[in-house]
């Protein structure tokens, strides 16, 4: 016979006053309903100050502060950002001066070029693979491989080489190209290729030495950019699960090895789900010495426009407040201060 286990004696439970217990959620943190006609700023302010919503607002605030203080905002992204129609958002941020550097993978160049060249991109991989035609677009490969080879000969990195090619072309949609805009504005853009991962690598026009040399130049450029994150800069990684997190970590390691202090900055990873390398190499490891890592989960086509709109609006508010403060300070420094100015006006 199995002995019967006696029931727990709940009369001995030790309780505590609820009001003295630490609590993670407070009424002040709750969401605020919006009425008709509310703007982007109102929407962001109305979100609960909890979890993902709090991190979204923290990411926007860090970006705005970096932009206002002329600290580096390094915007990294995978090809999916281009494929879901967000190039115009990135171009607008480049034009406004909200981004000081770009880093991307090789596939992003494919989609940026095709959209500039013919206004469409992204084939049906499964169907084309069955037919043996996947990645065999002649013009795409010739343009990319030609630009990379020419850039190698001219001492350019891959990002600058392709950006120059699109900018100087007669492509109908070149104005919406991220790479062409970066070239025009002289904003560094680094492309980190992995041999064999991009469709133009399969074509006879591909030059492995040129691909390797131009992408390596971009790695050196990235390592030169990384020290500018110190003191309030922001790194964003949008949708790159492997390449950019690995490349950034090595660029950071190289920069620190060369004696640069790169500790006080914010990293933001944006993707559909949390994955190991971005979490470790973007959010956690780089910020251990004094920075802050944030992780935002959501669809790029929703999250990035919302974040960009918030950054633009809050930056405008910050600049308006700064100008107002400067005007008031100038009035106080005037002879006689405000009273003196008033007397002068009466005379």
**CA–CA dist 222, 252 (Å, integer):** 9
Q: What is the mean pLDDT of residues 110-124?
A: 92
Quote the domain boundaries for residue 260: 51-328
For residue 343, what pLDDT is reported? 42
What is the DSSP secondary-structure string of 258-289? TT----SEEEEEEESS--HHHIIIIIIGGGTT
Place 259 in a pLDDT band, splitting at 50, 70 and 90: very high
Residue 61 CB-density burial (10 A; 0-12 exposed, 13-18 middle, 19+ buried): middle
For residue 331, what pLDDT is reported? 73
Within a domain: 131? yes
Quick one: what percent of the chain has pLDDT higher than 90? 76
Residue 125 CB-density burial (10 A; 0-12 exposed, 13-18 middle, 19+ buried): exposed
Looking up residue 152, the CATH number of its domain turns out to be 3.40.910.10
Within a domain: 222? yes
Within a domain: 43? no
Q: Is 34 helix (H, G, I), strand (E, B) or coil?
A: coil
Count of domains for the chain: 1
- Inform me whether the pLDDT recorded for 207 exceeds 50: yes
> How many other CB atoms are found less than 10 A from the CB of residue 136?
14
* Edge-to-edge strands, sheet with 265-271: 189-192, 101-105, 73-77, 233-238, 265-271, 292-297
Within a domain: 171? yes
For residue 1, what pLDDT is reported? 56
pLDDT digits (tens, 9 = 90+) for 279-318: 999 999 999 999 999 999 999 999 999 999 999 999 999 9
Nearest to 319 by CA among 68, 72, 42: 68
Residue 76 Cα to chain centre, angstroms:
5
Nearest to 137 by CA among 124, 150, 148, 155: 124
The region of weakest confidence among 88-92, 180-184, 199-203, 226-230 is: 199-203
Within a domain: 17? no
Within a domain: 132? yes
The region of weakest confidence among 37-46, 106-115, 173-182, 256-265 is: 37-46
Mean pLDDT of the chain: 92
Place 322 in a pLDDT band, splitting at 50, 70 and 90: confident
Q: What is the mean pLDDT of residues 184-194?
A: 97
- Inform me whether the pLDDT recorded for 341 exceeds 60: no
For residue 325, what pLDDT is reported? 79
Within a domain: 134? yes
Within a domain: 83? yes
């Amino acid at each position: 016979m199995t002995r019967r286990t006696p029931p727990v004696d709940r009369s001995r439970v030790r309780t505590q006053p609820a009001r003295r217990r630490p609590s993670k959620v407070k009424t002040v943190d709750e969401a605020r309903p919006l009425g008709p006609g509310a703007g982007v700023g109102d929407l962001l302010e109305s979100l609960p100050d909890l979890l993902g919503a709090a991190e979204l607002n923290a990411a926007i605030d860090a970006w705005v502060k970096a932009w206002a203080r002329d600290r580096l905002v390094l915007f990294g992204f995978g090809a999916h950002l281009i494929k879901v129609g967000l190039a115009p958002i990135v171009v607008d941020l480049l034009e406004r001066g909200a981004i000081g550097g770009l880093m991307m993978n090789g596939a992003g160049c494919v989609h940026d070029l095709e959209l500039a060249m013919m206004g469409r991109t992204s084939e049906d991989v499964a169907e084309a693979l069955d037919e043996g035609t996947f990645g065999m677009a002649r013009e795409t490969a010739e343009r990319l491989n030609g630009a990379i080879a020419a850039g190698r000969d001219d001492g350019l990195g891959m990002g600058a080489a392709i950006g120059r090619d699109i900018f100087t072309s007669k492509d109908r949609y070149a104005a919406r190209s991220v790479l062409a805009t970066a070239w025009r504005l002289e904003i560094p853009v680094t492309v980190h290729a992995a041999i064999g991962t991009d469709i133009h690598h399969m074509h006879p026009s591909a030059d492995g030495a040129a691909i390797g040399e131009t992408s390596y130049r971009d790695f050196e450029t990235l390592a030169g950019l990384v020290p500018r994150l110190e003191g309030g800069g922001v790194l964003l990684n949008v949708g790159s699960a492997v390449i950019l997190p690995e490349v950034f970590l090595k660029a950071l390691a190289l920069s620190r090895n060369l004696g640069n202090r790169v500790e006080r900055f914010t990293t933001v990873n944006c993707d559909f789900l949390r994955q190991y390398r971005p979490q470790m190499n973007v959010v956690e490891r780089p910020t251990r010495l004094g920075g802050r890592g944030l992780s935002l989960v959501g669809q790029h086509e929703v999250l990035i426009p919302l974040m960009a709109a918030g950054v633009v609006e809050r930056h405008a508010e910050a600049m308006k407040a700064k100008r107002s403060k400067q005007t008031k300070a100038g009035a106080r420094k005037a002879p006689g201060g405000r009273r003196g100015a008033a007397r002068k006006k009466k005379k």
